[in-house]
């Protein structure tokens, strides 16, 4: 198995960790273009870390224009083995107030404008997404939040919308009727692509406010949301530090099924595969294209 490398996709300030050494920004190019930003590398104790600001430093890129394929491909090319996705979300449940963390285990994808697969004409693949996140990595995340005493729940459905506008009241009520837990704009197709790249992927929704279904939603102020964001960011940094140490010591990681998601996914016959497509895919699917 390759040396563990924990990649974190999230906000720009997550890499401000005490004790982080050997830090540098790295430029990575991919067959799908440039990722959202350079990737910040560093070491925390024995753990190697890579941080990718999903929207670019300064939050320059809207959700629908994030190059999700390039982001995941860049992390895979750097040798990432585990990906922690951290996202601000709205709550669709009364028992998930601002400041709560949700270790997501399911998604409903309502996005329509984003490229959702590395594969295509010339080389077709169908991966399983019945369980779209890594339960092993999710367990580590849950244990870390528990140890920190952070209000959290293990399991919940993330409703992904296109954005950049927030949902209407009717939509918000509809999503609640679907038993969704949180709503956001960024985790799809990110989770799909991580599975295709055979990366262990965990998603943590950090609740900043109630979505517009809540009777008190209109009373939420920008100042209040900012205070929650700042608190969530500090919790996220502590979570990353704890998780990094755990990943380096996880002897079960090599046998994780996520690392073999493509074993039975390629459907195009070898002699019918487009050589250019095969070459393009080597960075993310090289294990099964040898």
Binding-site residue set for phosphate = 12, 54-55, 87-88, 186
Whether residue 211 lies in the annotated active site: yes
CB 91: neighbour CB atoms within 10 A?
25
Contacts of 83 (CB under 8 A, 6+ apart): 6, 7, 8, 9, 72, 75, 194, 199, 200, 201, 202
* Chain position carrying tokens 């753990």: 47
User: Hey, what are 38's tokens?
Assistant: 């350079």
Give binding residues for substrate as ranges: 185, 209-211
Question: What distance in Å separates the CA atoms of residue 233 and residue 206, rounded to the nearest whole number?
Answer: 9
Binding residues: 12, 54-55, 87-88, 185-186, 209-211
List 109, 209, 223, 250, catalytic entry: 209
Of the candidates 37, 82, 105, 211, the residue annotated as catalytic is 211
At residue 71, the 3 state secondary structure works out as helix
Is 271 catalytic? The answer is no
Distance (Å, whole) CA 70 – CA 78: 12
Strands 157-160 and 182-184, bridge-based pairing: parallel
CA dist 275 and 30 (Å) reads 17
| Catalytic residue positions, numbered | 209, 211
């Amino acid at each position: 198995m390759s040396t563990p490398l924990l990649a974190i996709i999230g906000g720009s300030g997550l890499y401000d960790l005490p004790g982080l050494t050997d830090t540098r920004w790295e430029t990575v190019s991919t067959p799908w273009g440039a990722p959202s930003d350079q990737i910040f590398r560093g070491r925390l104790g024995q753990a190697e870390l890579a941080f990718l600001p999903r929207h670019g430093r300064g939050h320059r890129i809207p959700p629908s224009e994030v190059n999700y394929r390039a982001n995941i491909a860049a992390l895979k090319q750097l040798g990432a083995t585990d990906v922690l996705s951290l996202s601000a979300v709205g709550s669709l449940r009364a028992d998930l107030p601002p400041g709560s963390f949700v270790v997501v285990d399911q998604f409903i994808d309502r996005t329509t404008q984003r490229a959702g697969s590395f594969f295509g004409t010339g080389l077709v693949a169908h991966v399983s997404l019945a369980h779209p996140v890594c339960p092993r990595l999710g367990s580590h995340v849950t244990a870390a939040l528990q140890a920190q005493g952070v209000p959290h729940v293990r399991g919940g459905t993330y409703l992904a919308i296109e954005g950049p506008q927030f949902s209407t009241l009717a939509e918000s009520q509809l999503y609640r009727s679907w038993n969704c837990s949180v709503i956001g704009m960024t985790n799809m197709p990110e989770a799909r692509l991580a599975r295709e790249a055979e990366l262990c992927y965990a998603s943590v929704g950090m609740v900043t406010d109630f979505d517009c279904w809540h009777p008190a939603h209109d009373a939420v102020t920008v100042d209040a949301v900012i205070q929650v964001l700042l608190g969530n960011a500090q919790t996220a940094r502590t979570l990353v530090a704890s998780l990094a140490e755990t990943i380096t010591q996880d002897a079960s990681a090599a046998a994780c099924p996520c690392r073999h998601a493509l074993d039975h996914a390629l459907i195009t016959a070898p002699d019918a595969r487009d050589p250019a497509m095969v070459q393009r895919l080597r960075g993310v699917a090289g294990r099964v294209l040898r």
